[in-house]
Copies of this chain bind each other. A is one copy, B any other.
Amino acid sequence: MSYYPEKVKTLIEKLGQLPGIGPKSAERIVNYILEEDVSIISELAENIVAVKKDVKLCERCFNLSETPLCSICTDEKRDSILCVVEEVKDLILIEKTGFNGIYHVLGGRIVPLEKTSISHLRIPQLIERLKRERISEVLIATSPTVEGENTAVYISEILKKRGIKHSRLAYGLPVGAEIEYVDTQTLKKSIEGRKFIY
């Protein structure tokens, strides 16, 4: 590192702090930046600043948005099923399945032994929405991990108290998997959740 000019060093350090980028990748990226056209690199830098400046969270569902309400919340053709997810990236994955409901991004999950993890979640905002909006069903789409499951149970309790119909993503075999490689817990869940064909 000390072999590089000061500015190169600084940039390698900063890039190395990005997720998934180690010191080696950071060096490669800096080499790319040094070799690429100045116009392309300036555009990249401008894009970074623009995203930071102009992309906010939707006031209603906390999806990413350049406007106060996101493109999903302003889409009048959406169903009244509200899908609760941990993060925006989960919302994106569910959108890709063709799901046509609306969302609520919690902004995390409940981590046991971390009391603050609940207070950081957008659960009050969810409750507020359930009062105001006409929601036919809440689909809890937190991850199938211990923490995601905890979060689902917590939200389920809230919804039960209010008599709101809700569901949870199904557990089962991942599509395309060989049964021999599926873990016992998943297999067990896929038997419990079996669908009768006849």
Contacts and interface: CB of A to CB of B under 8 A. Distances in A.
Interface stretch (A6-14, A146-154, A170-178): A6-14
Interface string A29-61: 111111000100111111111111111000000
Q: Is the interface of A mostly helix, strand, loop or mixed?
A: helix
A182 to B, nearest CB: 23
Copies per assembly: 2
A5 interface: yes
A28 interface: yes
A29 B38 contact: no
A95 B5 contact: no
A164 B65 CA distance: 65
B33 A52 contact: yes
Interface of A: 3-8, 10-11, 14-15, 18-21, 25, 27-34, 38, 41-55, 64-66, 70-71, 87-89, 91-92, 95-96
